[in-house]
Structure 1
């Protein structure tokens, strides 16, 4: 199970790092074509979400890999799960069912990491 959790942590770190970097570095006008929710969201919120995703991606791997405050790994997973639950609620409110499957999978995977690292497979 420990190996599975590491694989999931790595996968989530890559996904959230790529998404976060995109939201932080690309112009808002470019993001509106790819993400409909960006049209009605303040640019500062879009950038903030990107920063949270980047920090979450780092938190999924670095503390556990270095052994320095490894409790930050399940904390990061919990934060990302909360972020995905919020994203799912937003997609439901905006009646955007196409955004739900990926959001739900990321939510479940982040919750799995949080459960595993806070619980039986923690440090």
Structure 2
């Protein structure tokens, strides 16, 4: 189970890193022109950048606390935060009729829920 949780955590961290980099460093107009990025048209550039920074922090929070053995409880806490973020993403994409993205976000939500459940209960990090 530990290996499964690490794989799920690594996948989520990669998704968070990719999303965070694009939202933080790609201009809003370019994001809005991409399929799935239409939601950025109705929000300010500051919101998109802050969301990107949160995703970068999530990538860090999913991996580093466990690897460095510094507050490893932050891994499942970050996973719970990712669940909340994915609920918001699913609502946003659902309002735009982008149901393929809703399904993709639901997969990310399920992975994050697995990590949170596993690291809080089944296979917690022990120091």
TM-score interval (norm. to shorter): over 0.9
From 52, 55, 62, the counterpart of 2:54: 52
Partners of 1:64 and 1:39 lie apart in 2 by 37
1:21 aligned residue? 21
Q: How many residues align?
A: 123
Gaps of 5+ in 2: none
CA apart distance, 1:92: 2.0
1:89 aligned residue? 91
TM-score for the superposition, normalised by structure 2:
0.92
Query: Which consecutive aligned stretches of 4+ in structure 1 deviate over 4 angstroms post-superposition?
Result: none
1:62 aligned residue? 64
CA apart distance, 1:89: 1.4
Gaps of 5+ in 1: none
> CA offsets, 1:79-119, max 9 Å, x none?
11110011111222333223211111101101110111111
CA apart distance, 1:120: 1.5
TM-score for the superposition, normalised by structure 1:
0.95
> CA offsets, 1:17-75, max 9 Å, x none?
01101100011111111111011111111111111111001000000111100000001
